[in-house]
Structure 1
Amino acid sequence: MNKTEKRNRVEDRYNRPIISLRISITNRCNINCLYCHHDGMLPSDKEMTPDEIFKILKIAKSIGVEKIRFSGGEPLIRKDIVEIIKKTSSLKFKDISITSNGILLEKYAQDLFDAGLNRVNVSFDTLNPSTYKTITTKNYLKEAKAGILKAVEVGLSPVKINMVLMKGINDNEVMDMFNFSKKNGIILQLIELIESDNCEDKAFNDEYHFDLDPLENELEKLATKVKTREFMQDRKKYFIGNGEIEIVRPMDNTKFCENCTRLRITPEGKIKPCLLRNDNLVDLITMVREGLPEEKLKQIFLDGINNREPYYNQ
């Protein structure tokens, strides 16, 4: 980082710098996963436009944000996704990534790479067609797999697979997915099902939650090297042969909050200071659409940052 970038970097009240911004650019999706929380459906004509996203990103750049991740819903469902990436790339962020389900990735991977996308995470929970339909309610396994391989082929790097493990559904497929990932130079992230206080979600979790502890013990025996990501909840990365598996657990500890450097923007254009809260959102897109000057928009952005506080602080 050069001196100018360091000087521009903004910290919240807890001395946590804002380094990355995650923008949900749609909550529309082309699959319906079992574990998805379905945060409503925003009509496409109400979504942020590429120019509106660009204005928000310019502010982010001015306060020292270095990394941008686009998510959804399914971000590739937007027909202007390549334009969004191209505009983002013009601002010279250090890292631009997308989280996708991979279904449309074969179609867009080359154009996205050419537009400036650096890497992609693909939510992909199984290699079994029947299980894929059970999880997603759709028959797009072939397309998702082809999209993943196309992303590797065009040079998006690293390509990561996000595999949510569910008891009795795909918990017996870890090594199959690891071998597929290893063969194709992909990093596999195994994700523990997130618990919720919502009664309906809790019943789902009780039925399908898969304990990762025994699996981690096995991985430790197989690994030639284990790396702990200190500033990412102490996540463990297991290096087995020429492959890599990372364990991702729910974000329910003080260390995660202490080291959180991410801000979020919702599909509705609101600043979301904390992943685990919805009661302190700050409306930004309304002011963007009303044509407020950049300095005033920046102050709204800073107000959102000042709303940040550790969710777990014990």
Structure 2
Amino acid sequence: MLENVVLDKYERPIISLRITITNRCNVNCLYCHHDGMVRSRDEMTADELYTICKVAKKIGVRKIRLSGGEPLLKKDIVRIVEKIASLDFEDISMTTNGILLERYAEDLKEAGLDRVNVSLDTLDKDTYEFITKKDYLEDAKKGILKAVEVGLYPVKINMVIMKDINQNEIKEMFKFCKKNNIVLQLIELIESENCDEDKFSKEYHYNLDSIENEIADIADDMYERKFMQGRKKYYINGGEIEVVKPVDNAKFCSKCSRLRITPDGKIKPCLLRNDNLVELISHVRNGESEEQIEEIFIKGINQREPFNL
């Protein structure tokens, strides 16, 4: 039973906070929306991120994930991790594309980072360049292996599956992950409701149901996570695959325990919505008390609603 955790009005506990600390990036992936670009000088500072995380800890958040854009583009990223780690969360993780990870992995581990998820959709050089518009595949692979070496465990690879691009590369990616003691996460591309605005998602969306059924048939064991949208983890001959299907809205939302902070400092109560954001960073910059900032968090939590309502 969770104690000292805030529940939203649908009795979902808020135990995880994902903070987009920059939306700058060193690749240009096909499926990235680049929402709400924020100038680097306007990004949240290490001290501001510390204050946000300190208040989040007070309301029961136990896990912090730092993401981007590419978070390793923040010049003070090690200091950011160090300050957040001083708050003694159960878990501090980061999502990165891995390109700069070889350089930073050891320092991040020493600063208090527990683990990393690396976005890598292919091991094929040509496909990588098609997806990212860059030639950084070998840098990303070196970063991944360095993360394994220094113990940022478990290292996970996030592989977004796209029709006619990489859906036939899953076996090769799983082989790479199993060999290097890495968890593979297969992620279903979110299909936009407005396909006139997002023709890419309509053209390349690939439903993961058939792939998951194949995985389930050969798995030695399966575990369904209690939180994190009820994701299923499959264990196959010493390897591990997790399937993330955000388009399964009812189940995804019903077991969501995560709140998000946008790069411009707003609370994003729901992953699949942008119409209920709550301004946060201006309250921090105005020097408001932790109690006042906590009230802003509670306001954001009270905005949470299942997608299908």
Does the alignment reach a TM-score above 0.5?
yes
Which residue in the other structure is 1:99 paired with? 95
Query: Following TM superposition, by how much is the alpha carbon of 1:306 offset from its aligned partner in structure 2, in angstroms?
Result: 1.7
> 1:123 and 1:201, CA in 2 relative to 1: closer, same or farther beyond 3 A?
farther
SS of the residue corresponding to residue 203 of structure 2 reads: helix
> Which residue matches 1:15?
11
RMSD: 1.6
Supply the distance in 2 between the matched residues of 1:67 and 1:140 (Cα, whole angstroms).
30
Alpha-carbon distance in 2 for matches of 1:12, 1:234: 17
Q: Look up the match of 2:257.
A: 261
Using the aligned pairs only, state the percent identity. Answer: 65
Using the TM superposition, give the Cα deviation of residue 209 of structure 1 relative to its aligned residue in structure 2, in angstroms: 2.2
Q: Is the 8 A contact 1:231 1:255 kept in 2?
A: no
Question: Structure 1 residue 206 and structure 2 residue 202: aligned?
Answer: yes
| Match status 1:49 vs 2:39 | no
1:6 aligns with 2:13: no
Residue 301 of structure 1, aligned match among 263, 273, 297: 297
2:168 match: secondary structure: coil
What does residue 25 of structure 2 align with? 29
Deviation at 1:232, TM superposition (A): 4.1
Aligned partners of 1:207 and 1:311: how far apart in 2?
23
Measured against aligned partners, the alpha-carbon deviations of 1:127-146 in whole angstroms (never above 9, x if no partner) come to 11111000000000010000
**Distance (whole Å) between structure 2 residues aligned to residue 96 and residue 281 of structure 1:** 24
**Which of these residues, 135, 140, 148, is aligned with residue 139 of structure 1?**
135
Amino acid at match of 2:215: L
The 3 A distance-change label for structure 1 pair 302 and 211 is closer
Checking the alignment, whether the CA contact within 8 Å between 1:164 and 1:193 is kept in structure 2 is yes
- For 1:181 and 1:309, locate their aligned partners in 2 and report how far apart those are by CA, in whole Å: 36
Question: Could you say what secondary structure the match of 2:36 adopts?
Answer: coil
Alignment partners' CA distance in 1, 2:63 and 2:55:
13
Deviations 1:9-29 (A, max 9, x none): 222222222111110001111
Which TM-score applies when normalising by structure 2? 0.95
One-letter code aligned to 1:6? E
The residue type paired with residue 163 of structure 2 is K
Q: CA deviation at 1:217?
A: 2.9
Give the SS at the match of 1:267. Answer: coil
Aligned-partner residue type, residue 56 of structure 1: I
Deviations 1:153-188 (A, max 9, x none): 000110000101112211121111000000000000
User: Structure 2: how far apart are the matches of 1:101 and 1:185?
Assistant: 18
Q: CA deviation at 1:56?
A: 0.7
Is the contact between residue 102 and residue 143 of structure 2 (CA under 8 Å) also seen in structure 1?
yes
2: CA distance, partners of 1:52 / 1:137 = 33
Distance change >3 Å, CA 32–CA 235, structure 1 → 2: same
> 2:81 is matched with which residue?
85
Q: Distance in 2 between matches of 1:168 and 1:258?
A: 31
Where 2:110 maps in the other structure, the secondary structure is helix
CA distance in 2, matches of 1:117, 1:268: 23
In structure 2, how many angstroms separate the alpha carbons of the residues matched to 1:30 and 1:202?
Answer: 22
Following TM superposition, by how much is the alpha carbon of 1:78 offset from its aligned partner in structure 2, in angstroms? Answer: 0.5
Quickly say closer, same or farther: Cα 1:116–1:202, change in 2 above 3 A. Answer: same
Kindly indicate whether residue 167 of structure 2 is the aligned counterpart of residue 171 of structure 1. yes
- Asked whether the equivalents of residues 195 and 201 of structure 1 are also in contact (C-alpha less than 8 Å), the reply is no
SS at match of 2:165: coil
Query: Is the 1:131–1:169 contact (alpha carbons within 8 Å) kept by the matching residues of 2?
Result: yes
Residue type at the aligned position of 1:108: Y
